[in-house]
Structure 1
Amino acid sequence: MTPILIGAAPGHGRFQNRTADAGEISAAQLWEEQSKAVADIVKKQQEHGVRAICSGEFDRKWYFGGFFEKLDGFREVIPKAGKQYPMAAVCEGKIKYTKSPYLENWKLLRSQLPESQWGDAKFTMPPPCYFHLRLGPGKCYSSDAYANDKEFFADLAKAYQQEFQTLYAEGLRNVQLDDPTLAYFCSDAMHDSLRQDGEDPEALFETYLQAHNDCIANKPEGLHVGLHICRGNFAKSMHFSEGSYEKISEKMFSTLNYDTFFLEYDNPRSGGFEPLRFLPKGKNVVLGVVTTKEPELEDAELIKTRVRQAAEIIAQGQGVSVDEAMQSIGISPQCGFASVAVGAEGMTEEKMFAKLKLVKDVADELWPNRA
C-alpha cells in the first residue's frame, strides 16, 4: 500500500456553466475550460510529487455528480422535499447502463499522464446510497420503477459493476467511492431522526453495506477499491456528522469488501482511534490526520505520535506487532480541499500543496522503506 494516499481530490467540482461575470457559456466551452483546469492541477501534482494523482474534480459541477443522472432511468431534479441539496437524481424507470457515465472524465485525466502513471491515478465516484438517504423514504425511486429497495439497489449495483469493467479496460486501477451517508450512522441525532421518520437505523445501515458490497462485487482483478467515509466538509468547516466510528466500525469493517478505508481523523468530531481495533487483517486504513479546512499546518511530531497510537490499537485488535500493524496504515488529508466552490476560508493553492508536502514528509519518516 502506498503511504501517500490522498483521501479525496484536491478540489471538488468547482466549474459550472457560468463565467466569472455570470454570463452563460456553451457545454463545449465549459469542457474546454474544465480540461485546462484538470491539465493544470495534474501538472502541479506531478511537480509536487503527489503519487495518487487525480483530476481535482474540476470536470464536475459537484463531487457526487456525473454518474446517476447519466444512467438510463434517472432524471436530474432540484429537490423540493426531504433534505435540501443543490441537485438530485431520481429514478423514474428501470436502471440501464447503456454508456459509461465517467469514461470521458477518466480519459481526460489519463491523457495528462504517461501510461506508467495510470495505475497510480485515482478516480472518485459517489456511493450507491447517496440520494436514497438524501431524499428520504419513498422519494429516491418511483414505485412504477421499483417495488422496494432490494430491487432498486440490485439494478444499480449492475450499473456500477459495468462501469468498473469499462474504466478498468481503459487503464483505471484505483477507484475511490466517497460516501458521506455512512458517517450519518455515527451520529446519535441521526439515529433519532431516522426513528422519527419511521426508519430502523440498523436495518438501513445494513441495507447500505449490502449495496456497497454488491456494487464492488465481481470487480476486475487488480482494481483497487477504496471507501472514503466523509463527514461533510463545506465552507467555514460546516459539517453534518459528529460522533465516533464506534457505532459503525465493527459491522462496517467486518462486512465491507473494500481494500482500503479512508477515515477522517482531523479533529475531535471523529472521536478516537479505538474503533480501529476491528480492522481485519489484510485491509488498509488511511488516517485523515491533516485537515483540509484550516490553512494552518499541523505539527509533524504530533501526527507521528497519533499514527503510532492508531497502530498500537490495530496491533492489539489483530494480535500482531505494532510494526506489522504499521504496514496496513497510511496517512492523508481528511477530505478534499474544496467540497464546494467556495472552499475553506484562508486556504490557498500554495497552502494546499504545503499540506500535501507535510503528509509526504511525515509518511517518508514513518515508512522510510516503503516504495
Structure 2
Amino acid sequence: MTKTIVKAPFRADQVGSLLRSETIKIARNELKEGKISQEQFREIEVQEIKRIVDKQIEVGLQAVTEGEFGRDWWHSTFMEHLLGAEGYIPEHGYGFKNQETDPYDVRLVGKVAYNPSHPFFQQAKDLLEIVEERAMVKFTIPSPNQFFHPAIINGQYESFDDFAPDIIEAYRETIKEFYRIGIRYIQLDDVYLAVIATSDFTPEEKKYRAELAVSVVNSILQDKPEDLTVTTHVCRGNYRSDYHFAGGYDDIAPIIFANEKVDGFFLEYDTERAGSFEPLKHIPKGGPKVVLGLVTSKFGQLEDKETIKARIREASQYVPLEQLCISPQCGFASTHHGNKLTEEEQWQKLKFVVDVAKEVWDDFN
C-alpha cells in the first residue's frame, strides 16, 4: 500500500513559541547585568534550543521550531531589525484583558527596507544545523500586516497605500533569503487580522483593511517556490496567559479565508471567544488547510480527548476532514515571560495534540 505524503502544515502541528527554560532566564539576566557577553548568551541559547528540538521530535511533532528563543517578543524582535525601523520604550504597554504588558514597541524612523544582515537569518541557519534531517524546520515571523498601525508607521509614509509597496518588497526579499538558507516552512503571525475582525471599524473600513491585508500577503508570495510552505496564524493576543481580543472570524472570513493564498490558516478555537466554525465555509475546498487551535496553550490542564475529537467533527461540516489539522491555539511564550504553565505541562499538551491526530487521521503516523 502506497503511503500518503502529507505536506505541511501537518495533522499535528504547533504555533511556534515555547517556554524559556530557567537556564535561559538566568543567562538573560546575566546578559543585562553585563556578566556575560552577547556571544556567551547565544551559546547558552543554542544549547537550550538543541534540547527543545530533541523534545519536540520525541513527542512526535513533524515540524519543529527554535521556540522563538532568539527573540524577546514574537513580533518586535523581527520588526525592529528591518532597515528603517527601531525598537523603543513607549509610555505604556499593550492593554490586555487583565493587565498591561511591559512597555516595548517598534516604530519607523525612515523608509522600511530589507536587511540582508537580519539576525533571524543566522538563527535559521543554526536551527537547520541542529535539526538536520530529523524533522521539518518551521520558522515564524510576524506578518507584514503587523506594520499597518499609525504609531508604527510614525509619519514616515502618508498613507497605508503609500507604505504597502515598501513593506511588500522588504518581505519578498526576506522570504527569498530564508528559502536560500534552506527554510521550507514559514509561518506569518497576524494579530492585525484579529484587530480587523473584532474592532468597531465601520464595515467600509473593515473591508478596506482586510482587502489590503490580503493584497500585501499575496504580493509577498507572488513568486513563492512550490516547495515552500507559508501559513498564517490569526492570533488574539498571548501574554502571560492573558488575551487581548475577543470575537469571531465572521467579518474577515469572506475576504481573508476566501482569498489569501497561503497554504494554511492556524486559527484559535480553544474558547468561545473565537466564535463558531461557520466562517470556515469560506475556505476554498481543496485550498488552504485549516489548523484548528483547539488545545489551549495558556493553562496546563489537559483537555478531554473525546471533546476535542467532537469539535474536529463539528468543524468538518464546513471544511473536509482531509483539509483539517490540529494544534495548540497559540504559542506557549509569545514573549520571553511565558504563559502560566510548567514546561512538563507544555510537552504534555504537544503530545496530546499528536495523540489526538493519530486517532483522527489515517494518514498521520
Q: TM-score range by the shorter chain?
A: 0.7 to 0.9
Structure 1 residue runs of 4 or more that deviate by more than 4 Å after TM superposition: 12-17, 80-85
Task: Kindly tell me the number of residue pairs found equivalent between the two proteins.
Answer: 345
Instruction: Tell me if structure 1 keeps the 8 A contact 2:76–2:106.
Output: no
Whether 1:28 aligns to 2:39 is yes
C-alpha offsets along residues 225-247 of structure 1, whole Å, 9 cap, x if unaligned? 00000111222x32111111112
Task: Report SS of the residue matched to 1:147.
Answer: coil
> TM-score normalized by structure 1?
0.86
Shift of 1:98: 4.1
Range with bigger deviation, 61-70 or 177-186 = 61-70
Matched, 1:19 2:29: yes
Q: 1:264 to 1:29 in 2, by over 3 A?
A: same
Alpha carbons 1:88, 1:131 under 8 Å: kept: no
Q: Following the alignment from structure 1 to structure 2, what is the Cα–Cα distance between the partners of residues 329 and 113?
A: 26
Match among 336, 344, 368 for residue 331 of structure 2 = 336
Mapped contact 1:10–1:338 kept (Cα < 8 A) = yes
CA contact (8 A) 2:266 2:290 kept: yes
The equivalences for 1:37-56 within 5 A come to 37-56=48-67
Which one is further off, 335-344 or 252-261?
335-344
> Structure 1, residues 73-101: CA drift from partner, whole Å, max 9, x if none?
22222234896763323222223324142
Segments of structure 1 that go 5 or more residues without pairing to the other structure are: 315-324
Which residue identity does 1:130 align to in structure 2? Answer: Q
- Residue segments in structure 2 that go unaligned for 5+ positions in a row: 1-6, 96-100
Distance 2:133 2:169 in 1: 29
2:222 maps to which of 217, 223, 229: 217
The 3 A distance-change label for structure 1 pair 342 and 221 is same
Partners of 2:26 and 2:78 lie apart in 1 by 16
1:185 is displaced (CA, Å) by 2.2
Match of 1:125 in 2: 141
How has the CA–CA distance of structure 1 residues 109 and 65 changed in structure 2, closer, same or farther, with 3 Å as cutoff?
farther
Computed over aligned residues only, the root mean square deviation of the Cα atoms, in angstroms, reads 2.4
Match of 1:141 among 153, 157, 172: 153
The answer on whether the counterparts of 1:284 and 1:328 sit within 8 Å (CA) in structure 2 is yes
CA–CA distance in structure 2, aligned partners of residues 277 and 140 of structure 1: 34
Cα drift, residue 7 of structure 1: 2.5
Q: Name the SS of the counterpart of 2:152 in structure 1.
A: coil
Corresponding residue number in structure 2 for 1:301: 306
Asked if the contact 1:180/1:229 (under 8 Å) is kept, the reply is: yes
Correspondent of 2:131 among 113, 129, 137? 113
| AA at the equivalent of 1:256 | E
Q: Distance in 2 between matches of 1:82 and 1:153?
A: 26
Q: Which has the higher contact order (CA 8 A, sep 6+)?
A: 2
AA at the equivalent of 2:14:
I
For residue 38 of structure 1, report the CA deviation from its aligned partner. Answer: 1.2
Q: Is the 8 A contact 1:12 1:336 kept in 2?
A: no
Distance 1:217 1:82 in 2: 35
For 1:10, the equivalent position in structure 2 comes to: 18
Contact preservation (8 Å) 2:85, 2:112: yes
Residue 98 of structure 2: aligned partner:
none
Q: Name the CA shift for 1:129/1:80 in 2 (closer, same or farther; >3 Å).
A: farther
Letter aligned with residue 368 of structure 1: D
Question: Using a 3 Å threshold, how does the CA distance of structure 1 residues 225 and 11 change in structure 2: closer, same or farther?
Answer: farther
Amino acid at match of 2:362: P
Q: Is the 8 A contact 2:185 2:229 kept in 1?
A: yes
Distance 1:110 1:244 in 2: 36
Query: How do residues 1-371 of structure 1 correspond to structure 2 at under 5 angstroms?
Result: 1=7, 2-11=10-19, 18-19=28-29, 23-24=33-34, 25-80=36-91, 86-101=103-118, 102-115=120-133, 117=135, 120-133=136-149, 137=150, 139-143=151-155, 145-187=156-198, 190-191=199-200, 194=201, 200-235=205-240, 237-281=241-285, 282-314=287-319, 325-345=320-340, 347-370=341-364
Return the alpha-carbon distance in structure 1 between the equivalents of residues 115 and 178 of structure 2. 14
The more displaced of 92-101 and 350-359 is: 92-101
**Deviations 1:225-282, CA, capped at 9 Å, x for gaps:** 00000111222x3211111111211111112111100000001111111111111022
- In 2 relative to 1, CA 242–128 (structure 1 residues): closer, same or farther, beyond 3 Å? same
* Aligned equivalents of 1:310, 1:75: Cα separation in 2: 41
Contact 1:12/1:62, CA 8 A, preserved across alignment? no
Taking the aligned partners of 2:157 and 2:93, their CA distance within structure 1 comes to 20
Give the counterpart letter for 1:213 in structure 2: N
Distance 1:122 1:252, change over 3 A: same
Alpha-carbon contact 1:122-1:174 (below 8 Å) kept: yes
Identity rate of aligned residues, in percent?
36
TM-score normalised by length of structure 2? 0.87
- Name the residue aligned to 1:320: none
SS at match of 2:148: helix
Distance 1:339 1:68, change over 3 A: closer
**Which has the higher mean CA deviation after the structures are superposed, 274-283 or 259-268?**
274-283
> 1:107 Cα shift?
0.8
Amino acid aligned to 1:286: V
- For residues 239 and 349 of structure 1, the distance between their equivalents in structure 2, rounded to whole angstroms, comes to 20
